[in-house]
Amino acid sequence: MTGRPVPLGMPSFPRAAAVSTRDARLRANLKHATGTIRARRAAAVAELDDWRQLRAAAAAVKERTLRHLDHYLVRLEERVTAAGGTVHWAADAAEANRIVTELVRATGEREVVKVKSMVTQEIGLNEALAAAGVRAYETDLAELIVQLGDDLPSHLLVPAIHRNRDEIREIFRERMADWGRPAPEGLTDRPADLAEAARLHLREKFLRAKVAVSGANFMVAETGTMVVVESEGNGRMCLTLPETLISVVGIEKVVPTWRDLEIYLQVLPRSSTAERMNPYTSMWTGTTDGDGPRAFHLVLLDNGRTDTLADTVGRQALRCIRCSACLNVCPVYERAGGHAYGSPYSGPIGAILAPQLRGLAGPLEESLPFASSLCGACYEVCPVAIDIPEVLVHLRERVAEGGEATVRGTRAVVRPARRHALERRVVAGAAWALDRPELLRRGRRLAGRAARFAPRRLPGPGRAWTDGRDLPEIPEESFRDWWARTRAQESSQESSHEFSHEFSHEFSHEFSHEFSHEFSHEFSHEFSHESSKGGDR
Amino acid sequence: MSGDASRARVLGRVRRALADVPAYERPSDHPVPRDYLRVHGRRTPAESAALLAAHLADYRATVHRTGADGLPALLREVLARRGARRVAVPAGLPDGWLAGADVEVVADSPGLTVRELDAVDSVVTGCALAVAETGTVVLDGGPGQGRRRITLVPDHHVCVVRAADQIVDSVPQALERLDPTRPLTWISGPSATSDIELDRVEGVHGPRVLDVVLVAGDVGIPGEPARG
């Protein structure tokens, strides 16, 4: 797979997390944001008496789609084409980037406006466009904060969740002028003022844009309809003002029928932003005379999705509708932050999606399935019922014991992780990153903070995995105590479900996956470590 | 690689990945339980309108109620309160709606540029339908609604909903009535963001002020054909 590999020095999850869990400001930002949304999500979900049935239907429709994905993709292609769109197929990131770059070049334009899109992060589209002399402007507020701050996204829904209002103000003050209209004089850190600053900064770009790039939340095979769900109106600006619209969408985003949207338009907003409905949802089918873009291109992206599809246990990760509810309830995410996952897909879903999309290609991917305590809270809140703990355990076995997997469409045998293999992959990653100065710089910045922690080793069966990695410090408070203490303050019924689920998961996995469990246990301890007391063991 | 080769490659990978799915299985063989509710509760039309109003207000839209006779006066007042001087109007909006309003009417047309639209203060439209349970109005580009951009670029949107026959209770009922071949915009309150500390703030790129007028009686917009 030629997706965005791990930059040089991008640390494996435990290394990165060992640093981020000591970052008090990051943890405070995350705790505040995820705590706010958790309670509101529970209330929004509780409003619907049939949530359980909606969730079952949401999972079943996705499962049906995945089991017959070829059928639905061909149908989708027919319908989009019939409605005046053009469909392109991309087996990997390089192909998708080439297609988009050529489409932009054909318009003669040197800049594009972008709607927030996970998939274009995944393939590194902005960097590819920049290399071709095309400037891509992110227009989602959080993506703008990330882009201006020369930063990396850390949350599926709110990529700048690790930034608080004060930091955002500083980024706007210092960087907006480099990208266009400067921040207003005397900008405060009131969220409304920050939003106003973004409005003024981006308006000029919207009004002159001729080309837009988007993703999509859903594609309807039956009708060829594309759906983008958003809040700010930047999506609508990009989808309706430019002359050319290019949507890059993972092949798993297709749903069979128009009617199926009735399920997802109910579960997605409540799960992601805890709203009955998000402020704006745009639906378009091909092109419309006199309204919106005259040219519509749909780029259907594989980039590891078919490899994931081939794994009958891991396949369920492709149901994901990117709501981010699993991030917001995850104790590991709350402690470690999104950057520790080393991929645009962070949190519990990232821990199973990234290693499958990229393959267990290196230390980062191999460490991600261990970035969990298997508490099961992610599964409880998932609106498409992805059993994330089940997939995590499955992937841990793959890392530890090896086995068959599909890599770039071909069956292959994955060997158990060993130190020399890991080192080889780090070298390969370095060669890749040396061609990408921007990533190299960012990777170094992250790695530099991790470098001061000396490697330690686990005894016994854990050695194969911990060789060449950091071992977390022994905590002062066990994970379970921390979980009980912090979650006890959330008095919702859901919390108690999560809690009991944790125990059932731990016990069910404890004996059959001794090896895996050992790591989950160690990780759990790491994230329970409240105070950062210096000194390596 | 050429486009056709990529297509064959991706579809070939998909088919190989699904080796565990029996060849005889048709998509409809995989069960989808649809025992979720079509609507959450039974409501009279008046109750549905009240729920719509409450949910719109929850997300900081301002809701007004009037009879058909009172509509022009209410629109005059809403526009005047906002200080609107230039008002965009889509084709098919009944002439009488803006009668007596002291504003410059800017008619939507393909020739109206985005910069001209950016200089407009407000826009007045009808809608295709409204959804009570979610507090949503849906526009489909039909008569009295205009191109998508006219309800996006101006900072103030006034949307008129015919209470008698344009309010549905639920999302399933809305999709049943909408035509997917039309460009659709679902609007639930003014533009907002949750991007700063995951807390909702109203007002980013779309209209920062949304007035919704629920009007009783016949207000002269031709109805949309029901679908499905």
Does A356 reside within a domain? yes
From the list A69, A279, A328, the residue facing B189 with the nearest CB is: A279
How far is Cα A44 from Cα A52, in angstroms, rounded to an integer? 13
Supply φ then ψ for residue B32, to 5 degrees: -125, 110
**Chain segment A240-250, per-residue pLDDT in tens:** 999 999 999 99
How far is Cα A534 from Cα B220, in angstroms, rounded to an integer? 74
Q: Cβ contacts (< 8 Å) between B184 and chain A: which residues?
A: 281-284
What pLDDT is stored for residue B21 in this prediction? Answer: 97
Kindly determine whether residue A57 and residue B36, on different chains, have CB atoms separated by under 8 Å.
Answer: yes
- Distances in whole angstroms, Cα of residue B183 to Cα of each of A17, A246, A266, A403, B147: 45, 16, 20, 48, 9
Does A411 reside within a domain? yes
> Cβ contacts of residue B113 below 8 Å, gap of 6+?
none
Does A291 reside within a domain? no
Query: What is the distance in angstroms between the Cα of B100 and the nearest Cα belonging to chain A?
Result: 30
- Distances in whole angstroms, Cα of residue B9 to Cα of each of A87, A92, A102, B3, B91: 15, 11, 21, 10, 47
**Does residue B144 have a pLDDT over 70?**
yes
Q: What is the mean pLDDT of residues B139-156?
A: 97
Which of B 75-134 lie inside 8 A of A, CB atoms? 110, 114-115, 118, 131, 133-134
DSSP secondary structure code for residue A536 in this structure: -
From the list B6, B35, B187, the residue facing A53 with the nearest CB is: B35
Residues spanned by the domain of A164: 140-208
Domain tally, chain A:
2
Amino acid sitting at position A496: S
Does A214 reside within a domain? no
3-state SS class at A453: coil
Q: Cβ contacts (< 8 Å) between B7 and chain A: which residues?
A: 89
Kindly determine whether residue B6 and residue A273, on different chains, have CB atoms separated by under 8 Å.
Answer: no
Q: Bin B206: left if φ > 0, else alpha if -120 < ψ < 50, else beta.
A: beta
What pLDDT is stored for residue A48 in this prediction? Answer: 97
All residue ranges of chain A with pLDDT < 70 are 1-11, 418-537
Using an 8 Å Cβ cutoff, are A114 and A142 in contact? no
What pLDDT is stored for residue A118 in this prediction? Answer: 93
What pLDDT is stored for residue B196 in this prediction? Answer: 85
Per CATH, domain B43-216 is 3.40.50.620? no
B221 pLDDT band, cuts 50/70/90, is: low
3-state SS class at A158: coil
Q: Cβ contacts (< 8 Å) between A113 and chain B: which residues?
A: none
- Burial state string for A382-416 with b = 16 or more CB within 10 A and e = fewer than 16: bbbbbbbbbbbbbbbbbbbeeeebbbbbeeeebee
How far is Cα A333 from Cα A103, in angstroms, rounded to an integer? 38
- Domain edge (last residue) among A183, A208, A233: A208
Residue of A nearest to B181 (CA): A285
B218 pLDDT band, cuts 50/70/90, is: confident
The C-alpha angle with vertex A29 and arms to A27 and A35, in degrees rounded to 5, equals 95
**Chain segment A107-140, per-residue pLDDT in tens:** 999 999 999 899 999 999 999 999 999 999 999 9
Q: How many CB pairs under 8 A join A and B?
A: 274
Asked if the C-beta of B32 comes within 8 angstroms of chain A's C-beta atoms, the answer is yes
The beta strand positions in A415-511, using DSSP E, are none
What pLDDT is stored for residue A10 in this prediction? Answer: 56
Predicted-complex ipTM score? 0.95
Number of Cβ within 10 Å of residue A535's Cβ equals 5
Does A74 reside within a domain? no
Kindly determine whether residue B30 and residue A95, on different chains, have CB atoms separated by under 8 Å.
Answer: no
From the list B11, B114, B141, the residue facing A291 with the nearest CB is: B141
From the list A256, A300, A328, the residue facing B27 with the nearest CB is: A256
Using an 8 Å Cβ cutoff, are B192 and A196 in contact? no
3-state SS class at A461: helix
How far is Cα B222 from Cα A320, in angstroms, rounded to an integer? 41
From the list A68, A194, A273, the residue facing B194 with the nearest CB is: A273
- Pairing mode of beta strands A135-138, A111-114: parallel
Structure token digits, residue B187: 């609007």
- Burial state string for A55-64 with b = 16 or more CB within 10 A and e = fewer than 16: bbbbbbbbbb
What pLDDT is stored for residue A431 in this prediction? Answer: 37
Kindly determine whether residue A288 and residue B31, on different chains, have CB atoms separated by under 8 Å.
Answer: no
> Cβ contacts of residue A441 below 8 Å, gap of 6+?
none
Residues β-bridged to residue B187: A280, B137
B187 pLDDT band, cuts 50/70/90, is: very high
Kindly determine whether residue B180 and residue A202, on different chains, have CB atoms separated by under 8 Å.
Answer: no
Which of B 52-71 lie inside 8 A of A, CB atoms? 55, 58-59
How far is Cα A129 from Cα A126, in angstroms, rounded to an integer? 5
How far is Cα A193 from Cα A180, in angstroms, rounded to an integer? 18
What pLDDT is stored for residue A33 in this prediction? Answer: 84
Does A28 reside within a domain? yes
- Domain edge (last residue) among A208, A234, A265: A208
Using an 8 Å Cβ cutoff, are A14 and A469 in contact? yes
Q: Cβ contacts (< 8 Å) between A280 and chain B: which residues?
A: 185-188, 191, 206
- Residue/partner pairs of B98-103 with CB below 8 Å, 24 or more apart: B98/B72, B98/B124, B99/B72, B100/B72, B100/B73, B100/B76, B101/B72, B101/B75, B101/B76, B102/B76, B103/B79
Query: What is the distance in angstroms between the Cα of A520 and the nearest Cα belonging to chain B?
Result: 29
How far is Cα A73 from Cα A66, in angstroms, rounded to an integer? 10
| Range name among A432-441, B89-98, B178-187 with the lowest pLDDT average | A432-441
How far is Cα A103 from Cα A117, in angstroms, rounded to an integer? 18
How far is Cα B36 from Cα B53, in angstroms, rounded to an integer? 25
In what helix (H) or strand (E) does residue A357 lie, and over which residues does it extend?
helix A347-358
Asked if the C-beta of B51 comes within 8 angstroms of chain A's C-beta atoms, the answer is no
Query: What is the distance in angstroms between the Cα of A473 and the nearest Cα belonging to chain B?
Result: 30
**Does residue B158 have a pLDDT over 60?**
yes
Give the CA dihedral A383, A389, A393, A399, nearest 10 degrees.
Answer: 70
Measuring CA to CA, which residue among B97, B82, B86 is closest to residue B119?
A: B86
From the list A71, A168, A281, the residue facing B196 with the nearest CB is: A168
Using an 8 Å Cβ cutoff, are A281 and B186 in contact? yes
How far is Cα A111 from Cα A474, in angstroms, rounded to an integer? 51
Measuring CA to CA, which residue among A226, A236, A215 is closest to residue A285?
A: A226
Write out the DSSP string of A63-77. Answer: HHHHHTHHHHHHHHH
Structure token digits, residue B20: 């565990």
Query: Helix A388-401 and helix A347-358: axis angle, to 10°?
Result: 40
Amino acid sitting at position A122: E
Does A496 reside within a domain? yes
Structure token digits, residue A200: 């003024």
What pLDDT is stored for residue A404 in this prediction? Answer: 87
Give Dmax (Cα) for chain A.
Answer: 69
Structure token digits, residue A264: 């997802």
Amino acid sitting at position B117: L
Q: What is the mean pLDDT of residues B135-162?
A: 97
Measuring CA to CA, which residue among A196, A185, A184, A189 is closest to residue A169?
A: A189
What pLDDT is stored for residue A502 in this prediction? Answer: 36
Does A66 reside within a domain? no
Q: Output B199 or A366, whichever has higher pLDDT.
A: A366
